[in-house]
Structure 1
Amino acid sequence: MATSPLSPPDADTTRQSLLIAAAAGTAAAIVILWMIGDWRLAAGFVAAGLVMAGGVLAFARLSSRRAAAAPVQDWALAHALADASAGALAVTDRSGVLVCANDAYRRLFDGLPTPPSVPLDADGEGRLGGAGRAAWRDGRGEVAGLAQRGRLLDAVIARAGEDMLVWHFTTASAEGAATGDALPALVSAVAGRPGERLGAAGVMAVVIQPDGRIEAANRVFTARALGKAEGNVEGRDFARLMLAEPSGHVRFEREGEAGNPLRLIQLPLGEGAEAPLALALIDEEDAGLPAGLGDDVAAHVRALVGLLPIGLAMVDREGRFVHFNASFAAATAVNAAAPPLYPGDLVVREDKAALADAVRRFSGGAAHVADMQVRLAARPDEPVALTLAGARGLGDAAVILCLKESGEEGQLKRQVAQATKMQAVGQLAGGVAHDFNNILTAIIGHCDLMLMRHSPGDSDHDDIQQVRANANRAAALTRQLLAFSRQQTLRPQVLQLPDVVSEVSNLLTRLLGETVRLEVKHGRGLGAVRADPGQLEQVIVNLAVNARDAMVAANPKGGGTLTIETLAVGRAAVKRMDDDVLPVGDYAVLRITDTGTGIPADILPKIFEPFFTTKEVGKGTGLGLSTVYGIVKQSGGYIFAESPPGQGACFTIYLPVYSAAEAPAPKATPKPVKRAAGWGTGTVVLVEDEAMVRAVAERALVRQGYKVLTAENGEAALELIAACERPDLLVSDVVMPMMDGPTMVAKVRERYPDLPILFMSGYAEEQLRRSIDLDNVAFLPKPFSVQQLTEAVGSVMGAA
């Protein structure tokens, strides 16, 4: 930095200016004095000339000082520091002029644009300008995630002194954003010790960006590409360093055709065409080999693929299989006797063309990775995800296929999805059944009240009976929905499976007909189970009727044989089964097998769904097997359906062996409902939020002789009981808005501790047991008839 004072020519000029100003003032004064004769005016002109001369002298001296203070900038040091900095760096002054920039900045932006007006995608320029203004104001500004040609940049702007900004650009966060945490680690590894070890093994490793510029490379590649290991290839165009040949080999451009041919292996580091690539270059030991690996190397590749636990297959440029591992064969059910030639041989007809087009596209050089959904011919109802990727350096293989869902993992995912769906359907069925039970209670109740006014000979009597019969049929369907959703009322007992089968055998003989033969086999050492015998009989009947219909449909004249077996399965046997669903324990097993045509593989996963049936319209509701499923599950058991090809269906039910030592402590059970005798007396408080059910129950109890006080919810019932004398009985729904039945009963019991309670609900008693587990409480399930209501009320009041 240097300054320069005024030179002698500048001083002479100043003196000349002073003399001229003085002479001009004197001449003007003489002329004024000669023409006017006023010496005072002439003296004024002389003074003005002197002032002008003084002004010229002051201006000259001030300019001399400013010239001495103005520095002459020397930018050589700034340029040297910029070139030595890591990353792209530029310096601008207060007026926005680019002062200097390093080579990394020039390569990054293909020239020397002045920041913030650099080529960035979207709103990058505006964000960068905002960071620059922040740097002028606060001394430092930062901005991250600037998009630029498929990668992201971070920028840090710092104020240097009062007149300069330093702009520093890096691509570190672009790597992490583009490919996750894998790319930064890979770049570090290629440029570090792992890259050195690869070089020692003869592997040249490179990481390039989507635009073909090199991100990192090991020293072996640098030495071969530039002729010296100390060079820097980062930021260079990879394609300009290489020569490609039609045979598929590449050579270094520096070595020319005399150089050793190389085999290039590509590995995409992300999805889409904008993902970075990792490249490995290996010297071909024999330049005369075709574009493929030697037999020994190909054998090693096949051995490696065979060890992988995921389904992998390699396909050549003609679309034929080169190799696939055991996992791929198991997932696609490949026939070992007649292996497939093309990937399209494994999928359904509708997916053949799409898969063939994808293989052709990737074999032609597509470098990205793509996923597609296909349906295998072995499992047409279960789409699987197939990943395709272009292959380089794997011999004849041009495309790699990967099945993402294969083996036990895919099976478990499907089982979880099926279980989740069944649970959701069960919750829906339970809610619908509860609301439907209220409607059926009103219909049945009103029919009973009308029948009291119409004798059997009346013309309306038969119509009312028909309505009541249909309502009872609807109630039976509702119970089946509750059974499927595991919300029906069960009366479990400790029993033996052979006893239940014996009880229902006579009924089964009549149901099966003359063409179907029944065989019963009992094992030894069966433990006791805890279940509802009536519901367990319904399970056996439903399965037997379905088996009969299947066998008669397949062979109307010959029928078939239905076999019912009971056997004991111990803990050790269950452990050997290694089943993911069945817990290890002791079980009493019920197995029902028929000799029909079996269940098709595409229907087998759906048989337990409600309303699913393969029977003709009007011949089945689709609730038989769903009811079986719900009863078994609510009893704590497990049911499995099997249908081997060419054989009939087999249903196996596992019920856990009951152990008194492991049984929970007995809870207070509701008093049994008995038939009431005689006319009723006393005061009954009836709490029901459904107006139609409340009206039926009130009329039925009033006709029986009771004094009935009604309330539409728990809060209204508390106010009613507080305003009247002690009632004799409280009849309440369990689930109500605002305040439910158990909460209301707890508050009433604070005033009347021994007041008898009769709960009624469309939900199962077991489902409500925790909330209604109180002393002196009875339960009446909906829907109920007028007679059932009056008998329950009379029984509770009589026992109180």
Structure 2
Amino acid sequence: MTRMAPPPSDPARTAPFAERPGADGLTLAAVGAGALGSAALIGWAVGDWRLGAGMAALVIAGATLVWLFGRLHPSIPEEVVIADWALVRAAADAAGAAVAITDRAGRLVCASDMFGRWFPGLETPPGLPVDEAVVERLTAAGRSAWRDGAGAAAPFRHDGGAIGVDVQRAGAAEDHLVWRFSRSAGAHDLAGQARVLVGGEGGQRLGDAGVMAVIVDGEGRILAANPAFATRAERRADASLTGADFVPLLTADRGGSIRFAREGAQGVPLRMIQVPLGVEEGATLLLLIDDPAGGGANAGAASGHIQTLLTMLPMGLALADRDGRFLFFNEAFVQAAGIDPASPPLYPGDLVVREDKAAVADAVHRFASGRALSGDVAVRLAHLPDEPVALTIAGARSLGDAAVLLSLKDSSEESRLKRQVAQATKMQAVGQLAGGVAHDFNNVLTAIIGHCDLMLMRHTPGDSDYDDIQQIKANSNRAASLTRQLLAFSRQQTLRPQTLQLPDTISEVSNLLKRLLGETVTLVVKHGRDLGPVRADPGQLEQVIVNLAVNARDAMLPRGGGTLTIQTFAVSAAEVRRMATDMLPVADYTAFSVADTGTGIPPEILPKIFEPFFTTKEVGKGTGLGLSTVYGIVKQSGGSIFADSRPGQGTEFVIYLPVHRVEAGGDARQAPRQRLGELWGSGTVLLVEDEEMVRSVTERALARHGYTVLTAENGEEALEILDRGDPIDLLISDVVMPAMDGPTLVNHARRRMPDLPILFMSGYAEEQLRRSIDIANVGFLAKPFSMQQLAEATRERLGA
């Protein structure tokens, strides 16, 4: 990395003339000859030999005086200095600075190794690979040095740091410039300061205190070392280690102890402290201290302090020795690992299932005997074999007998949240399945109920078939109630919400509850004050109360009866905020609780009670849809439901319904729909239904009530009928159909007949469909429906 000037010529050829042998005699002879020659010429020219002789005598006398003066006052001959550039380079490298030397011609004649690392390619100052503005500042500093003897330039940014420049004119003839580049003190040159400290008096003081100090760059080369380190590494305090590789000077045994390579296995173990010095060259200060006990002289005290610190930390931490035996674990580790304080484990492998013991033991021994690294091992704890957890293992140093640090996070809360998310996902999937099944089942029930109505039109009470038809219709209606429960669970049922007061609804259902509960169960009803109105479907809300009451009765029967308490109360937004739960949005609520004194619900069953088809009753005594229906109705009404139970102490369900704010002048209750007196009508109806059985029975029912019916199997066929120009008074269409669905058909039909009345029929919820269908002035008929409901809806849409 050093550039040097070419060698000078032979010294004998460049010595001064006055220093050669016989120089004085030759000089006097030359002067005498010149004087005589000059006298002869003058005498011949003027014709007077006396004048020529006088001039010759005068010249000889002057030359003699000059020669005598030179002998008495000899001049110092100018010597040629021969530059030893190798010596200059060694001095620059020892100074630990980036140095470059240029001559008057602007050529780089010498440069230190650090200059070559900072400026690869050995560019000649001031023409360095920096900004033009910096080059101009460097040029100005060089001119100042030629003119004034010294110059300087403001620090400039290069290679992630600030570099200052000093320029000095030097040399015996002052014909060279010395450029010194150094990290600016204002840029926090920790590496440079550390080199000065370690290589100077500070390093000597550290050595006197028993501390060996060495600075290593990012490539493992030594930048500086104090005499104490040099003595131990090379057995000479004056050994030059600058530029040497650091790693070969040390060795590590299987136990992780570090020693000097020259001392071998008999050497004293070392404790190493690493101090990063910033980004320059990746420099790091390493302090090495003799550690005869493998953990330092104060290892016992340090280990005690470490254990005190680990006890205070909230995460589960434990220490193990080189053989893998536990030395310490804090309370958080005990909780996370499920450790019984009465019989603590001896090894980390004792905490996990049998299949994971070998992996844990191998990891502990690997990290105990290797370098101070860390890693995670996925294990299954013995007390929670179904939930894998991450056991973090790290090699420990300078902690006495401890060689491994183990960390185990208490994941019980995380596992609980994961179970809740999985439960919610499963409930959503089952809800979607239940909604789809109910929709298809409603089509079947629509056909069955419709045909029953058609058959009843041909039979009168007393006929042999009349009772059988009624029984079929009754069973179909019972099946329809099951589909409504499925839709309630999936929150897809059709609700008719009204603004109501909870005490009124509970009072209306109280008589029914007394008959359902029987004589062994006492019903207690309590009402709070300042209850706000709620908006819900009164029939569905009554079903919620009945379902909860029936479940409570069944839970109290094994005890021979008990008390069922229904209580209403107001919950303000401030109280909800104090509850600090994410499950209940902050708002004003009117709530009611249903509490029993039954056997209670086991903790492992409590999270599953709202699942559809889940029941603890005997086969044939429960459908498993009661609580799932309650859950769906409450959620679809905008409320929340919570269950609290302890085995042997009863169960309490609390339902929160948001308070409904009635606008000024608004009616608190919906006016009941006016009954239509006559079901017969006239006009042309276009019926679109992809299910043949539903289309057939609906067509016959409409025809029996006086309507002319045109049928279409899909939307495309219906549009063809509309394009024929036949007068259509009403369009009745299913919502979900293959190819073109009902809303798309209606949009096309409205372009042809903007005022065409529309009646949708579907097995899905009306509210859900109205949110997804942006079409004004349409009616809705929920499946399954009777012929009377169909006739009423048709007359209503036709405005009859």
TM bin (shorter chain): 0.5 to 0.7
* Pairing 1:482–2:482 present: no
Deviations 1:230-271 (A, max 9, x none): 34447x67xx9425387x7442222345643235899xxxxx
Cα deviation for residue 694 of structure 1 reads: 0.8
Between the aligned partners of 1:642 and 1:428, the Cα distance in structure 2 is: 28
Shift of 1:588: 1.7
Amino acid at match of 1:494: T
Distance change >3 Å, CA 401–CA 458, structure 1 → 2 = farther
The equivalent of 2:682 in structure 1 is: 681
| Equivalent of 2:636 in 634, 637, 641 | 634
Query: What is the rounded CA distance, in whole Å, between the counterparts of 2:311 and 2:676 in structure 1?
Result: 74
CA contact (8 A) 1:260 1:283 kept: no
> Structure 2: which amino acid aligns with 1:362?
A
1:697 deviates by: 0.4
Matched residues in 2 for 1:195 and 1:712: separation?
90
Decide whether the 8 Å contact of 2:396 with 2:405 is kept in 1: no
C-alpha distance in 2 between matches for 1:795 and 1:206:
94
Change (3 A) 1:590 1:700: same
Query: Residues 392 and 333 (structure 1 numbering): CA distance in 2 closer, same or farther, change over 3 Å?
Result: closer
Are positions 1:625 and 2:637 aligned together? no
Superposed, 1:48-447 pairs within 5 Å as 230-233=242-245, 241-242=250-251, 244=253, 249-256=257-264, 259-262=267-270, 287-288=292-293, 294-306=299-311, 310-315=315-320, 322-325=327-330, 327-329=332-334, 331=336, 340-341=344-345, 352-366=353-367, 369-374=375-380, 377=383, 383-393=387-397, 394-397=399-402, 399-404=404-409, 406=411, 409-447=414-452
Q: Structure 1 residues 403 and 717, CA, compared in 2 at 3 Å: closer, same or farther?
A: farther
The answer (yes or no) to whether the contact 1:206–1:214 under 8 Å persists in 2 is no
Pairwise CA distance, 1:766: 0.4
Classify 1:346/1:468 alpha carbon distance in 2 versus 1 (closer, same or farther; 3 Å): farther
Q: State the number of aligned residues.
A: 579
**Alpha-carbon displacement from aligned partner over 1:2-21 (angstroms, at most 9, x marks no partner):** xxxxxxxxxxxxxxxxxxxx
The equivalent residue for 1:723 is: 724
- Residue equivalent to 2:797: 796
Report the Cα distance in structure 1 between the residues aligned to 2:460 and 2:481, rounded to whole angstroms.
27
Cα separation, partners in 2 of 1:319 and 1:513, compared to 1, 3 Å: farther
Report if aligned partners of 1:670, 1:779 keep a CA contact under 8 Å in 2.
no
Aligned equivalents of 2:469 and 2:346: distance in 1? 69
Bigger drift between 582-591 and 366-375 goes to 366-375
Matched, 1:707 2:712: no
Separation (CA, whole Å) in 1 of partners of 2:571 and 2:261: 74
Larger Rg: 2
Q: Name the SS for the 1:490 alignment partner.
A: coil
Residue 763 (structure 2) aligns with: 762
Matches within 5 A, 1:36-47: none
Q: Are 1:573 and 2:575 matched, yes or no?
A: yes
Aligned residue for 2:60? none
> Superposed, which structure 2 residues align to 1:500-511 within 5 Å?
500-511=505-516
**CA deviation string 1:623-675 (max 9, x = no partner):** 22211111111111122222346533222222222224699x99xx9994744
What per-residue deviation string (whole Å, max 9, x for no partner) do you get for residues 695-721 of structure 1?
110111112221101112233223212
Q: Match for residue 590 of structure 2?
A: 588
SS state of the match for residue 709, structure 1? Answer: strand
Partner amino acid for 2:658?
A: P
Alpha carbons 1:637, 1:654 under 8 Å: kept: yes
Question: Is 1:779 the equivalent of 2:791?
Answer: no
**Counterpart of 1:599 in 2: which secondary structure?**
coil
CA distance in 1, matches of 2:562, 2:240: 86
The alpha-carbon deviation at position 325 of structure 1 amounts to: 4.5
Shift of 1:490: 0.8
Matched residue SS, 2:554: helix
Once residues 214 and 382 of structure 2 are traced to their aligned partners in structure 1, the CA distance between those partners, rounded to angstroms, is: 38
Match of 1:655 among 649, 654, 657: 657
Deviations 1:148-176 (A, max 9, x none): xxxxxxxxxxxxxxxxxxxxxxxxxxxxx
| Match in the other structure for 2:130 | none
Moved more, 285-294 or 502-511: 285-294
**Cross-structure match for 2:541:** 536
- Relative to the length of structure 1, the TM-score reads 0.62
Q: Which residue of 1 aligns with 2:735?
A: 734
Name the aligned partner's letter for residue 543 of structure 2. Q
Percent of pairs with identical residues: 59
| Corresponding residue SS for 2:541 | helix
Cα distance change of structure 1 residues 400 and 244 upon mapping to structure 2, 3 Å threshold:
closer
Q: Is the 8 A contact 1:494 1:658 kept in 2?
A: yes
AA aligned opposite 2:242: E
Name the CA distance, whole Å, in 1 between partners of 2:224 and 2:606: 61
Match of 1:549 among 543, 549, 554: 554
Structure 1 residue ranges without an equivalent (≥5): 1-190, 208-212, 267-278
Q: Give the match for residue 38 of structure 1.
A: none
**Aligned in 2, Cα 1:486/1:318: closer, same or farther, shift over 3 Å?**
farther
Give the Cα–Cα distance (whole angstroms) in 1 for the partners of residues 215 and 643 of structure 2.
55
Q: Residues 404 and 218 of structure 1: is their aligned pair in 2 closer, same or farther, counting only changes over 3 Å?
A: farther
Using a 3 Å threshold, how does the CA distance of structure 1 residues 437 and 233 change in structure 2: closer, same or farther?
farther
Contact 1:701 1:708 in 2 (8 A): yes
**RMSD (Å), alpha carbons:** 4.5
Q: Cα gap change, 1:315/1:466 in structure 2, threshold over 3 Å: closer, same or farther?
A: farther
How far residue 594 of structure 1 moved from its aligned partner, in angstroms, is 2.3
Deviations 1:56-105 (A, max 9, x none): xxxxxxxxxxxxxxxxxxxxxxxxxxxxxxxxxxxxxxxxxxxxxxxxxx
Gap regions ≥5 residues in structure 2: 1-189, 275-283
Secondary structure class of the residue paired with 1:548: helix
SS across alignment from 1:423:
helix
Q: Hey, what does 1:34 align to over in structure 2?
A: none
Classify 1:611/1:748 alpha carbon distance in 2 versus 1 (closer, same or farther; 3 Å).
same
Between 1:733-742 and 1:529-538, the stretch displaced more is 733-742
Query: Any idea what SS the aligned residue of 2:643 has?
Result: strand
